[in-house]
Amino acid sequence: MTKSIVILGSQWGDEGKGKLVDLLTDKAQVAVRFQGGHNAGHTLVINGEKTVLHLIPSGILHSHVTCLIGQGVVISPSHLWAEIEKLIQKGIDFKNRLKISGAATLVLPYHVALDQAREKAKGSKAVGTTGRGIGPAYEDKIGRRALRLCDVLDAARFEEKAKELLHFHNFVLQNYFSAEPVSLASVLEEGRIAREHLAELIDDVPARLKQYRQENKTMIFEGAQGTLLDIDQGSYPYVTSSNTTAGGVASGCGYGPRYLDAVLGITKAYCTRVGAGPFPTELHDEVGKNIATRGNEFGSTTGRPRRCGWFDAVALRRAVMINSLSGLVVTKLDVLDSLEEIKIATGYEYQGQQLSELPVDTDILAEAKPVYETWPGWQCTTEGIRNWSDLPKAAQNYLNRMAELCEVPIYMVSTGAERKDTIILRDVFEE
């Protein structure tokens, strides 16, 4: 029986990971975030009530689920505390079931200032980041100078290190970007919030995971962002600054790869991307607008409109390979309900050559033209369907073709934002 399941995005993020983690944690005891920060926005809809989570794992609404945040995550103390307070206001009591690694890197005000100054300076070449300081925080970590959650415990030591880092970052902000410096008070305030509210949640995450494994608990590892935004595997430099792919689980929470039983890749029935960077199947026409409107494609974190396009089997095959996907979960099928015909990119063409693999050179990817096959639409509602046999034949054919092109089975199909709007084809827990 499968016990440790990874749920991750196999496109450019916002595939519906939050919904799926919430659904699957009905049968699990533990949910773990292993990378990313509050650049993520994971939406859960239960009986019409919407909850958007940024740092807290999407299992939190189940009172039997313990949520862990691993050391691969970057944490903004004020954002995490605000998220906790919001849930407490909603009546969700979880102090004893939220545990955070003391080794997690902190996102501090100078990271936000640097992120925004850098994007502004890049002008038309900007990455289109969420502006939340994620990249600069990971840079500090890799540069071996970051402040971590455990550093807030000793206020004097925190202040000493913060002063040094502030001096370093303010130098760049003022002299290179001609931007305003960040105040020491704003950094110390983050330390205070972390000390007063988050310090008591600090735990040894790898040791806790070992204990849970020995207790035979079922665990869901929740990815943020998506495969094509991975710092090593994505469309660099238009990526985030962490490993969003399956390999990130082991390093990001201290749980060895041999312990993982299944990896499910969440994919929309089409594609979206928010922020800049190549997107071969992007639509600039009425069909794209129709998908954006029906899919309500606006970022859960920044509210920015998401770019929309056809399903890209070349990119998905890459995600299957990189993540060793056991299978797919296809979401937002209902968004395609009104379309007369639906296209799938099966390859690319670049300077007269056929490409069957996603090129790693971002300039080539930006120039690559998709080669499409066209499938008839179903033009009737699939919203809320919970059985495969109730799907129109054309929708079944489309889904079967997705699976065939990606060479992995489909485990689930999502037909609405609600937890219950889901077709379950294979039970990942029973394999």
Q: Does 14 bind ligand GDP (CB under 6 A)?
A: yes
For the CB of residue 337, give the shortest distance to ligand GDP in the complex, in Å: 10
Closer by beta carbon to ligand IMO, 42 or else 161: 42
Contact residues: ligand IMO, CB under 6 A:
9, 12-14, 39-42, 127-130, 132, 134-135, 224-226, 229, 240-241, 274-275, 300
For the CB of residue 239, give the shortest distance to ligand IMO in the complex, in Å: 6
Residue with tokens 């600054």: 241
Q: Does 33 bind ligand GDP (CB under 6 A)?
A: no
Q: Does 222 bind Mg ion (CB under 5 A)?
A: no
Question: Is 64 labeled as catalytic in the residue annotation?
Answer: no
Closer by beta carbon to ligand IMO, 233 or else 382: 233
Interacting residue with ligand GDP among 4, 29, 39, 43 (CB under 6 A):
43
Interacting residue with Mg ion among 41, 265, 275, 416 (CB under 5 A):
41
Output the CA–CA distances (angstroms, integers) from residue 99 to 172, 209, 239, in the order listed: 35, 11, 28
45 interface partner picked from ligand IMO, Mg ion, ligand GDP, none, CB below 5 to 8 A per type: ligand GDP
For the CB of residue 229, give the shortest distance to ligand IMO in the complex, in Å: 5
Binding region for Mg ion (CB under 5 A) out of 8-16, 28-36, 152-160, 270-278: 8-16
For the CB of residue 14, give the shortest distance to ligand GDP in the complex, in Å: 4
Sign of CA dihedral 239, 244, 250, 252: positive
SS3 sequence, the chain?
Answer: CCCEEEEEECCCCCCCHHHHHHHHCCCCCEEEECCECCCCCEEEEECCEEEEECCCCCCCCCCCCEEEECCCEEECHHHHHHHHHHHHHCCCCCHHHEEEECCCEECCHHHHHHHHHHHHHHHHHCCCCCCCCHHHHHHHHHCCCCCEHHHHCCHHHHHHHHHHHHHHHHHHHHHHCCCCCCCHHHHHHHHHHHHHHHHHHEECHHHHHHHHHHCCCCEEEECCCCHHHCCCCCCCCCCCCCCCCCHHHHHHHCCCHHHCCEEEEEEECCEEECCCCCCCCECCCHHHHHHHHHCCCECCCCCCECEEECEEHHHHHHHHHHHCCCEEEEECHHHHCCCCEEEEEEEEEECCEEECCCCCCHHHHHHCEEEEEEEECCCCCCCCCCCHHHCCHHHHHHHHHHHHHHCCCEEEEECCCECCCEEECCCHHHC
Q: Does 228 bind ligand GDP (CB under 6 A)?
A: no
Closer by beta carbon to ligand GDP, 198 or else 328: 328
79 and 54 Cβ atoms separated by less than 8 Å: yes
For the CB of residue 223, give the shortest distance to ligand GDP in the complex, in Å: 9
Closer by beta carbon to ligand IMO, 7 or else 274: 274
Closer by beta carbon to ligand IMO, 42 or else 62: 42
One-letter amino acid at 123 equals G
Question: Is 363 labeled as catalytic in the residue annotation?
Answer: no
Residues numbered 113-132 forming contacts with ligand GDP, rule: CB under 6 A: none
For the CB of residue 18, give the shortest distance to Mg ion in the complex, in Å: 7
One character per residue 299-328, x = contact with ligand GDP (rule: CB under 6 A):
-x----------------------------
Interacting residue with ligand GDP among 4, 6, 7, 9 (CB under 6 A):
9
Six token digits for residue 328: 């797919």
CB atoms within 10 A of CB 1: 9
One character per residue 283-302, x = contact with Mg ion (rule: CB under 5 A):
-----------------x--
Interacting residue with ligand GDP among 17, 79, 97, 148 (CB under 6 A):
17
Six token digits for residue 177: 């970007």
Binding region for ligand GDP (CB under 6 A) out of 118-126, 139-147, 231-239, 332-340: 332-340
Among 42, 54, 79, 169, the one annotated catalytic? 42
Binding region for Mg ion (CB under 5 A) out of 9-17, 95-103, 323-331, 370-378: 9-17
Q: Does 191 bind ligand GDP (CB under 6 A)?
A: no
Whether the upstream peptide bond of residue 237 has omega within 30° of 0, thus cis, is yes
305 and 284 Cβ atoms separated by less than 8 Å: no
Interacting residue with Mg ion among 4, 14, 70, 135 (CB under 5 A):
14
Sign of CA dihedral 138, 139, 140, 145: positive
254 interface partner picked from ligand GDP, Mg ion, ligand IMO, none, CB below 5 to 8 A per type: none
Contact residues: Mg ion, CB under 5 A: 14, 41, 300
Catalytic residue set: 14, 42
Contact residues: ligand GDP, CB under 6 A: 9, 13-19, 41-43, 45, 300, 331-332, 334-335, 414-417
